Amino acid sequence: MALAVAGLFVAQRVLTSGGVGAAPEGVSLAWSLLLPEEARAAYATLNSATENAARADSQGETATTPDPALLLIAETSTDAALDGQMLSISGFMVPLDNDRRSTRQFLLVPYQGACIHTPAPPPNQVISVYSERDARRYHNWQPVTITGRMNVATDTTALAEAGYVMQLERIEAYREDRESQEFTVAEGAHDSPLL
């Protein structure tokens, strides 16, 4: 199973300093890879249904309505292969505790303002992060990279429901890879260079 998970990701080491814990290494993860195949298929079917409905509407025809269960599958399906893996992912911090300088619990979301200024992303695009020690609190507009042990588990918070839970090992300000200016962008997701 570890070989299959490694095949999904671009291996990249987290080598820079400045976070919680001593420089753990994790496989870098794009937000789109949090979506399992069944979620991708459900999104494709929903997108096709939306296009067909628009076409039918423009031609004065009645469109068929997609099965509402597809949206549930698209937004809540998680990838069991990620369970127990040491991973790194970049996104935006949404602190859940009241300390102004540090945090022990926060949400990591794929785009700025999620859960605060805009509705929460679907659960399979939210990671609930816990730290045993105080972790530096970053502004919600500053992207961060976190590394830790990922668990596939539902966590309901005051701001959002998360489909993944991570035990934080390291947090740092996001640093763009200087050699490559290319980013993987998930289809249908918010237009963020971190996806």
Q: What is the pLDDT of residues 145-192, one digit of tens each?
A: 999 999 999 999 999 999 999 999 999 999 876 444 443 434 444 444
Position 167 scores a pLDDT of 97
* Cβ(103)–Cβ(138) below 8 Å: no
Extended beta strands in 31-126, E state: 86-95, 102-109
Residues sharing a CB contact under 8 Å with residue 96, sequence separation 6 or more, in sequence order: 103, 105, 106, 107, 157, 158, 159
- Residue 156 C-beta-side C-alpha neighbours within 13 Å: 0
Using the 8-state DSSP alphabet, how is residue 21 labeled?
Answer: S
Position 168 scores a pLDDT of 96
Residues sharing a CB contact under 8 Å with residue 58, sequence separation 6 or more, in sequence order: none
Position 57 scores a pLDDT of 67
Position 193 scores a pLDDT of 44
Position 147 scores a pLDDT of 96
Averaged confidence pLDDT in the chain:
79
Which residue did the predictor score with more confidence, 48 or 87? 87
Kindly indicate the confidence band of residue 15, based on its pLDDT and cuts at 50, 70 and 90.
very low
Residues sharing a CB contact under 8 Å with residue 72, sequence separation 6 or more, in sequence order: none
- Indicate whether 129 pLDDT > 90: yes
* Cβ(152)–Cβ(80) below 8 Å: yes
Report the alpha-carbon distance of residue 102 to residue 82 in Å, rounded: 27
Report the alpha-carbon distance of residue 183 to residue 16 in Å, rounded: 20
Position 6 scores a pLDDT of 35
- Indicate whether 13 pLDDT > 50: no
Report the alpha-carbon distance of residue 194 to residue 7 in Å, rounded: 20
Phi, psi of 5 (to 5 degrees): -65, -45
Kindly indicate the confidence band of residue 92, based on its pLDDT and cuts at 50, 70 and 90.
very high
User: Bridge partners of 28?
Assistant: 10, 88
Position 130 scores a pLDDT of 97
Which residue did the predictor score with more confidence, 154 or 50? 154
Distances (CA, A) of 23 to 13, 16, 187: 9, 8, 32
Kindly indicate the confidence band of residue 56, based on its pLDDT and cuts at 50, 70 and 90.
low
- Residue 4 C-beta-side C-alpha neighbours within 13 Å: 6
For residue 31, count other CB atoms closer than 10 A to its CB. 25
Which residue did the predictor score with more confidence, 168 or 11? 168
